[in-house]
Structures are given as C-alpha cells and as structure tokens.
Structure 1
Amino acid sequence: MTYRHVVALGSSFAAGPGIPPVVDAAAGRSGANYAHLFADAIGARLTDLTVSGATTATVLDQPQRVGRTTFPPQLSGVPEDADLVTVTVGGNDLGYLQTMLRLAWANQFQRRWWTRAAGNRLARGPVPVADPDIVVGGLTAIVDAVHERAPGARVVLVDYLTLLEEKTVPPFTDVQHRALRALGRRVSGAFAVAAQATGAGLVQASVLSAGHGVGTAEPWVNGFVPSTRRATSAFHPNAAGMRAIADELVRTLGART
C-alpha cells in the first residue's frame, strides 16, 4: 500500500515533548515524533495536528488552550485527501500521566521537611479507578469522524508505550506502582476494544515496548527527574521509543514509497 498524505492526531505520546527538534513549542510537538519519522520513511506528506495535553474531546470538537495559544479541535484540520490517520489519545481522559506526575512529585516533596506539607497535599487521593469506556467512546467517535472528513483514509490507533514494568521503580511505592500499572492496562485495553468496534487498525505500542519501561537497560520512555525544566518530558516517549513505533508502523502497514 502506498500512502501519500499521513495525518497525526493525539496527545503528548504522539506529539513528543522534549524530543528535538521542536517544531511547535506550544503544542509540545517534535519533528522526530513517530508520525514524522514514519512519513519521512515512506516519502509521504504529513499533517501533524498533535498537541500535548489533548483529550479525546479536544481531538473531536473542543478547542484546547495551552498558555496563550488556542488550538482548534484537531479533527477540524483533517484534510479530505488524507489516506492514513494515526491516533494516540485517551490517557489524559483517565488522568494517567497526571496521576503519575502528581504522585512522583508528592513522594519527592515528602522526603524533605520543608516541602513535606506540599507533598502530603499532592499525595491525597488514590490512583483513579477510571472507566475505560470513556476512552473507548472517544476513540470510536474519532474514527467515525475521520471517515466522515476523509472517506478514503485508513485509521490506525496507536496505544501507549509501556511506562512501568513489573518491578517497582522510584519514585513510586509498591502500592502506587501496582495501581499505576493497572491504570495503564485500562488505557491500552480501551484501544483494543475501540479498534475491534470500529475496524480501525491497531499498533500495540504497549506490547511492542514490553521490557523497555522506566528503569530498564534500554528505556523507550523517560523517567522522573525532579526538575521543572524537564517536567514536560517525564514519563513520556524518548527518541528511541518514537523510532520503535515508526518502524512498527512501516512493518505492519506494509507502506512503501
């Protein structure tokens, strides 16, 4: 199959914050995210609409405000001539990354007496036992809407890279680690259900990346560094993770120039 116009929709796991080169600072969008690498590999045109922090709602029909920049709903930018659309979004609907960062900072602050009170406040509230049907519904609506805007497009859902392996890694406790892994499985499971329900393609980055989580010898995601300067890239794909997804897209789609 030859693809000539690829469109990328999604949140930070598609946008690639912190990976150089930065092509849109407000969107946290990298020129070396998986969509860019894939399009370059097959010689296709790319329309990258990804925005860090996006939810299924801001892909579908709600504007997204980031600082002083307002991004229109991503679907409004999907052109009629798109023949392949990739989608990675839904984790923010369930508070996946937000919860990981909240607990990571809470545990960091609790280590020192002068920040312990702030840490205790951040630690309040458990890991959410969120309903994955929220993501299934959002992804299903996105696939249907893409087909309305670009009737000839193939839609491929790309789920989230594995963040945490079985062994507990800092800065999380055993209890937090288990709960966060369970939340990650709910996110990935929603992609599988949505793909089956809609007939969309599915690239299981979660399976592909097993053994490459935080703290492994060859991580495809960034760990936690207690620095506000690097906060946007913590627990997000690194360059190796983006390259692995791009290579898998080329392999599974059989795309060629």
Structure 2
Amino acid sequence: MRISRARSRLLTVALAALAAVGLSMGTAVPASASTWHDPLRYVALGDSYAAGQATDCTHTASSYPLLLDKLPSVKLVSDVSCAGATTGTVIAGQISAVNRSVSLVTVTVGANDLDVAGLQAVCAANPASAACAAAIQARQAQLPALYANLAATYSLIAAASPGATILVTGYAPLVSTGPLYTAEQALNSTIQGAVTSVAAAGAHIRYVAVAFTGHTADSPYPWFVLSGPNIFHPNVLGNLAYAAAIARSLLAVGALR
C-alpha cells in the first residue's frame, strides 16, 4: 500500500508540474483552423516510450499520453501505442485510429526499427568495446531506410487527418556522452529530418526534442528505469518530461498554420 500511495503522490506532483507549463489551447489554436475541436481530440501512436512500459500494449498511468489527457484542453480518444512497435506496426495497425475528427496526434517510433534496445544493452555494459562499435555501425547503415519508412509513416498519418497537428518525439539519450550518445543522436536526427521533409510537403507536423539533461542513466538521479522488464525506459519523471515537452510544443501550434 505504501508503494501505491507514494506513486499516487508522485503522479500528483507530476501533473501539477505539467500544468505549470502553462498549456492553454484556447489561445494556441488559430481561429482559422475549422477542423479543431475544444478540447483537442487526441490519438497517441507509437512504441513502448509512448505506452509507458516495455512488455505489451497496455499503458501505464504515467505514460505521456495519459498525462496529457489529464489536461482540460486535451481529450485522449484513442491510445494504440504498443511496446515493440515499429514504423511497419504503426502503418499496419495503428494509423486506422486516426481520422478527420482528430485534431492532435503524437508519434514516438523508430527505435525498434533499429533494435535500439539491443544496442543499449551492448553499449551500456562497455561503450568502448568492439561489440558496441560493431552494433553502432550496423545500425548506422540502416538509417537511410529508417528515414524513408518514417517519412512514409508521417505522410500516411497526415493524409488520414489533414487538419490535425502531428507531434513527433525523439528519444531522450540514455547516457550523456560517448558512442552510445552519438548513435542515439543520429537516430533523433533521422527522425527530425523525416519530419522536416513531410512538413515541407504541407503537413502540420513538428519534431519534439526530449532531453533528460542531468538525468541520464549515468547521472545520480536518472529519469530512466535501470532494472527489471522496463529497463532503459523512462520512469515516472521521464514520462513527465515527455509530456511537458509536448505541452510546450502545443503552445507553438499556431506557427504550423
């Protein structure tokens, strides 16, 4: 019972901090956007970073879509995020949740296309090892294909709901420096590049950077789970950081019109 109460208190603090971001969608949404609703009709797509856990398609109470749903100006109508999801999974099994009534879509996907969890497991043990260098090189070779898959995924989402704002998150680096950090930044650059290309074609899409500055796994106070089935995934405070970053981007949504 003590664990449950402590978790409840932490979530209460997290929600208060999220509200302090100052999200006020009534001022952020341009009057000319006739497809917008009040509150925003929100669909969450993506992998375990969106689901809030690493094992299946359930969603933890601290997942960033459920945190955003606590805001009065956001209504989560569908959360189809699922652990293990790839761009192919999103295309085949998640985009069907998006339609013209949706005004906000979040997407976190791409890491599983490269098996970043496997990379983290190899490199976290010994970043200077030959095994880590080989794992990074193998994934770097896959980045052009990932770029194409991401751009196709974002384009299909935009076509399914042309009036929606699509917010695509990157991945918070697990460590603060070294080869693994560089590899994770390359992944984020690929995601951001695909977002930019789809935005240039007219979609209302933007990239949301997420950085756990001072709270990586190699810090004294990490925002990552460091053991158990959810290892290397954001903890409650990490999920809050994702929600807050998305909330800040929502404030700038008028710049997309």
- CA distance in 2 between counterparts of 1:102 and 1:75 reads 32
List, as ranges, runs of 4+ consecutive aligned residues in structure 1 with deviation greater than 6 Å: none
Q: 1:78 to 1:241 in 2, by over 3 A?
A: same
- 1:10-25 to 2 correspondences below 5 Å: 10-17=46-53
Residue 193 of structure 2: aligned partner: 193
Matched, 1:92 2:112: yes
* Contact 1:39/1:45 (<8 A) preserved: yes
Report the CA distance between 1:81 and its aligned residue.
Answer: 0.9
SS state at 1:30 partner: coil
Residue 19 of structure 2: aligned partner: none
- 1:175-194 to 2 correspondences below 5 Å: 178-194=178-194
Residue 157 (structure 1) aligned to one of 143, 163, 168: 168
Structure 2 length-normalised TM: 0.72
Q: Which amino acid aligns with 1:238?
A: N
Report the CA distance between 1:192 and its aligned residue.
Answer: 1.5
Q: Which amino acid aligns with 1:142?
A: T
Q: How many residues align structurally?
A: 204
Name the one with the larger helix percent: 2
Q: Which amino acid aligns with 1:134?
A: A
Residue 6 of structure 2: aligned partner: none
* Contact 1:12/1:28 (<8 A) preserved: no
Q: Which amino acid aligns with 1:82?
A: V
Q: Which amino acid aligns with 1:9?
A: L
Matched, 1:55 2:86: yes
* Contact 1:162/1:212 (<8 A) preserved: no
* Contact 1:92/1:98 (<8 A) preserved: no
* Contact 1:10/1:50 (<8 A) preserved: yes
Residue 213 of structure 2: aligned partner: 210
Report the CA distance between 1:102 and its aligned residue.
Answer: 5.0
Q: 1:158 to 1:42 in 2, by over 3 A?
A: farther
Report the CA distance between 1:185 and its aligned residue.
Answer: 1.3
Residue 32 (structure 1) aligned to one of 62, 71, 82: 62
Structure 1 length-normalised TM: 0.72
Return 5+ residue gaps in structure 1 as ranges.
19-24, 62-72, 108-122, 167-177
Residue 82 of structure 1: aligned partner: 102
- CA distance in 2 between counterparts of 1:185 and 1:124 reads 16
Question: 1:215-238 CA deviation, whole Å, 9 max, x = no partner?
Answer: 313322122x3xxxx1x2100011
> What is the percentage of aligned positions where both structures have the same residue?
29
Report the CA distance between 1:124 and its aligned residue.
Answer: 9.6
- 1:131-170 to 2 correspondences below 5 Å: 131-166=142-177
- The root-mean-square deviation of aligned C-alpha atoms, in Å, is 2.4
Q: 1:74 to 1:150 in 2, by over 3 A?
A: same
